[in-house]
Amino acid sequence: MVKLDTLPAPLGLLAELTHRCPLGCPYCSNPLVLDKRDDELDANTWSRVFREASALGVLQVHLSGGEPAARRDLPEIVSGAREAGLYSNLITSAVGLTAQTLAVLAEAGLDHVQISVQDSDEASADHIAGYKGASVRKRALAAEVVKLGLPLTINMVVHRANIGRIEPMVEMALSLGARRVEIAHVQYYGWALKNRSALMPTREQVDEAVRQVEMLRARHHGKIVIDAVVPDYFARFPKPCVGGWGRRSLNVTPAGRVLPCHAAEVIPGLEFWNVRDHALAEIWRAAPAFSAFRGFDWMEEPCRSCARKEQDFGGCRCQAFLITGNARAADPVCHLSPHHDRVEQLAAARVDVAYSYRTA
């Protein structure tokens, strides 16, 4: 058991304002069953959640979706984050967000914008997004972000179709005026899990991508920050998922359920409390879903006796369940896991088939 008086304060809040989105990205991390518009929290409730988050110790809120700009009350939501004293980051597809609305958001107190980009090649980018003209809109909005003086991050989700263009994608981010670029290899949850064999890169592609990132970091040192990690299925050790289950961040779904991570609902039997019924501090400290995998008592071998357990906390619980059927098992990404051979098999399973696009 983790003593509540030793529990660290969460630093970040992922606010999923809506699951509505004009794009159909086949790697979308949203669940296959999306929250309905009528179930979405209203702006006043989000403002209350932001105040409670700030009192709990949260410093920044990531306004996400779906596409947050699908919410007509987005300026009120941004204003609520500013009034709560939170640093606000808008995670947007840039499709459906006009220059006029962006200016209103900046006036309301928006601090930062992150735009997702599917590829440096326009035709490929639009194909991946399932939306013709998306790439042009993204570039246009990036120019407006820079014009307003807002910091810009470009997020590039990398998979088999675009992993060979990391260099031109980083050069594009520089040309757009971004201060930071995230090279985010696909994580296989939600729609990405459904499309895993169509998205999975080869080992050779991954190794070359790592080399490219190191080369680009050296070339552009001092010009742009390049964040990248080795994709899970090709790593030797697992990632400490969101800094450890229920340790550093919270995720609030459009309908108000609070999760320790965005994919946690794939694990059966967990009880998720809702901000409509409980204060955020109560959820953080006492909700059954948050307590389920805190500390080390829940661990099985080899994690329980592993010297790395305080570094990676056994890895990702959702990934462990999705691959092994047991959420308490060692993340099979780890080479010490008795199920690691299953990850190797999945990493080698690549099929050239049409994407199953995310549906609204």
Q: Convert the pLDDT of each residue in 162-174 to its tens digit.
A: 999 999 999 999 9
- State the Cα angle at 233 between 355 and 271, rounded to 5°: 80
Report, as an integer, the average pLDDT of 299-303: 96
Element (H, E) at 116: strand 112-117
Give me the percent of the chain exceeding a pLDDT of 90: 93
Question: What pLDDT score does 2 carry?
Answer: 56
Q: If you compute the radius of gyration of the chain from its CA atoms, what whole number of angstroms results? A: 20
CA nearest to 245, candidates 181, 153, 321, 176: 321
Lookup: tokens for 179: 């201060």
Lookup: tokens for 72: 């007509």
Strand order in the sheet with 112-117: 225-228, 180-185, 152-158, 112-117, 87-92, 60-64, 12-16, 249-252, 258-259
DSSP 121: S
Question: Largest Cα–Cα distance of the chain, in whole Å?
Answer: 56
Q: Convert the pLDDT of each residue in 63-86 to its tens digit.
A: 999 999 999 999 999 999 999 999
- At residue 292, does pLDDT exceed 60? yes
CB 133 within 8 A of CB 140: no
Q: Band of the pLDDT at 97, cuts 50, 70, 90?
A: very high
Question: What pLDDT score does 5 carry?
Answer: 62
Question: What pLDDT score does 7 carry?
Answer: 77
For the ranges 74-83, 243-252, 321-330, 341-350, which has the lowest average pLDDT? 243-252
Q: In the chain, which ranges are continuous DSSP H helix?
A: 43-56, 74-83, 99-108, 122-129, 134-147, 166-175, 190-194, 196-199, 203-219, 280-286, 288-291, 309-312, 317-324, 340-347
Question: What pLDDT score does 285 carry?
Answer: 93
- Global confidence as pTM: 0.95
Q: Convert the pLDDT of each residue in 236-276 to its tens digit.
A: 999 888 888 988 899 999 999 999 999 999 999 999 999 99
Report, as an integer, the average pLDDT of 22-41: 96
Q: Convert the pLDDT of each residue in 278-288 to its tens digit.
A: 999 999 999 99
Identify the bridge partners of residue 183 per DSSP, sorted by sequence position. Answer: 156, 228
Residue 16, C-beta contacts closer than 8 angstroms, at least 6 positions apart: 30, 64, 65, 66, 251, 252, 253, 254, 262
Give me the percent of the chain exceeding a pLDDT of 70: 98
- At residue 330, does pLDDT exceed 90? yes
Report, as an integer, the average pLDDT of 308-332: 96
